[in-house]
């Protein structure tokens, strides 16, 4: 089991993503249900009901925008693995690499 502190890319933006989706979802669902209820009853929704739907929607959308901003700006500077670890080497590449390593060994012996 991994601990929260061991995740490399966990930041405040991760919490913005979770709460952004939750608040936006709540605002949209609550607003839709109250809108449908006001249409059925023929009475306009109260100001408080409208604000209960509007505020979470706006705040959630702002959190999602902030998540995107932080996520785009938070590009890792140090790779997790060396660059050559995923390279597909052909036989001639391996021969060239072995020849270069052999030349280095010869050079270090003569020095």
Mean per-residue pLDDT over the chain, rounded: 84
Q: Answer yes or no: are the C-beta atoms of 87 and 29 closer than 8 Å.
A: no
CA distances 41 to 31, 36, 44, 48, 57, Å, are 15, 9, 8, 17, 24
% of residues, the chain, pLDDT over 90: 49
Provide the pLDDT for residue 67. Answer: 93
- What's the CA gap between 58 and 31, in Å, rounded? 12
User: What does the angle CA 83 – CA 77 – CA 14 come to, to the nearest 5 degrees?
Assistant: 115
* pLDDT tens digits, one per residue of 47-77: 999 999 999 999 999 999 999 998 888 777 7
Position with higher pLDDT, 8 vs 37? 37
The structure's pTM equals 0.61
Per-residue pLDDT at 13 exceeds 50: yes
């Amino acid at each position: 089991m991994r601990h929260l502190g061991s995740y490399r890319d966990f930041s405040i933006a991760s919490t913005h993503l979770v709460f952004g989706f939750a608040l936006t979802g709540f605002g949209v669902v609550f607003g839709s249900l109250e809108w449908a209820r006001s249409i059925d009853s023929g009475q306009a929704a109260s100001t408080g009901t409208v604000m209960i739907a509007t505020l979470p929607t706006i705040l959630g959308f702002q959190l999602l925008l902030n998540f995107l901003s932080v996520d785009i700006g938070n590009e890792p500077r140090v790779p997790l693995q060396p660059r050559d670890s995923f390279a597909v080497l052909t036989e001639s590449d391996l021969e060239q690499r072995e020849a270069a390593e052999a030349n280095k060994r010869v050079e270090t012996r003569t020095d």
